Amino acid sequence: MIIMDPPHLDGYEWGCKIGGGSFSSVYKGVLKSGEKTPVAIKCISRRNGRKVGNDAAVKEIALMKNLNHINIVKLYDFQFDSKNIYIIMEFCTEGDLAMFLKKKYKFAESFVQILMQQLASALRYLRTKNICHMDLKPQNILLTRTPELVLKVGDFGLSRILCDENIEQSRFAGSFRYMAPEKILNQKYDSRIDLWSVGIIMYECLVGRTPFGSTTLKAIVDTMVQQKPIEVPASISLSSICENLLFSLLKYNPGERIGFDEFFKHEFLQLNYLPCPENYERVKTLVNEGTSLEKIKKFPGALIKCEEAICYLEGFSCTETNPEQKRVVLEKITEYKRWQAQLTCLIEQSTQHSNKPSIITAENQYQSLYNLCKATPNIKNGLDIGRVAEMYVLDDKKTIALEKITAALDILIPLINTEPNGIRKDMLHKQIQQWLLLGETLKKAL
């Protein structure tokens, strides 16, 4: 590691050293003007004609200048002199994920889910730019509090905009502990190398170490050549959807590894409701659609739109840091929950007039829940059977309906106990409660 003098930059005060790498050191700094914003100053030495470090710095600056995402470290400025190149970036208060892991050893699945959501959100954004990070590891993932903990991907010095012309230039770039088999074994590779790295990071967060332990490069290569099974220790209890994502990422053969589209849609991540500008606009659209349906007395359809809007807003309420904006979001949630209750009453009144058991779920939150569960066969099967039961109710075939609703509940009730906390579990719990009520109604009617 290069030892360099602390930076002296126009407009910035420098502080203590907070990190470093093969060709750089990172210091905490402060912007002198305005609110004295804290910054991180990455200093890359230009001494001894180190072309590798200089080239990486130029590429990192070029990439970061065009990136703007809450889960990616922001580039504020850059300067250079005869000795160093200086990259001035967003300062992250909690250091990197490696340091955080060292303090905690490992994390609960619910916390890992939050980290993976944010990492996936950053990767989804990078995919729109056709960027492969190529060096994802805990040391390059930073954490900050706003006051909620926010993950930010950093260190784009090895990243590439992938194309056939440049992919071979970075054959051995990156950390071998997190490097995909196809890259480390000198085979053809593509952007799915980032997904392997995500899998290793996820495993380390859940277990407290990487799947290969503290082994040497040779030992890791031997493991990859032999494709030894990757296993989670028996002492670590994971939900089925968490295990599914983990082992879908950690496939030695990239052709068998989960793809980006499947990754972003995976039920463990629940990215559909992740707070972002697009989803805030989605809330407005849902409310407008729901209002239009209510006007023409299509109350179940309006309820679907209302409940989905609430799901989106609840995600924003957990991450919003501006007090005024948070107040607005919470007021909207309260308003839409009142609307939800009104629509539910209107649906119940309409079913009472028809002399049939209340089937609120036939056209409301069922479809939203079903979409979240498409990749989980057991839950999907239970939902399918429950939906068939509702159809039999509408046909006034109460005996068959009761058999079907009982079969659906026999499948779903045990599964909810292994479901991690989140929107899907809340929606599934609500669906089960409604079908339990429907079952009781059918028993009384027979």
Task: Tell whether residue 228 is among the known ligand binding residues.
Answer: no
What whole-number distance in Å separates Cα of residue 387 and Cα of residue 410?
14
Triad 314, 320, 324: Cα angle to 5°:
105
Closest CA to 237 of 401, 343, 110: 110
Continuous segment of H or E residues that includes residue 353: helix 323-353
How far is residue 7 CA from its own chain's centroid? 36
What whole-number distance in Å separates Cα of residue 57 and Cα of residue 81?
13
**Count of CA atoms in the C-beta half-sphere (13 A) of 139:** 11
Tell me the Cα Rg of the chain: 26
Catalytic residue among 10, 96, 135, 222: 135
- Tokens 């000795």 belong to 83
What whole-number distance in Å separates Cα of residue 252 and Cα of residue 245?
14
What whole-number distance in Å separates Cα of residue 126 and Cα of residue 418?
32
What whole-number distance in Å separates Cα of residue 358 and Cα of residue 334?
25
Residue 91 near residue 15, CB atoms below 8 Å: no
Q: Decide if 81 is catalytic.
A: no
Residue 153 near residue 125, CB atoms below 8 Å: no
Residue 97 near residue 201, CB atoms below 8 Å: yes
Closest CA to 140 of 83, 57, 72, 214: 72
Read off the tokens for 273.
């409701």
Q: Which residues are catalytic?
A: 135
Q: Which amino acids are annotated as binding site for ATP, given as ranges?
A: 42
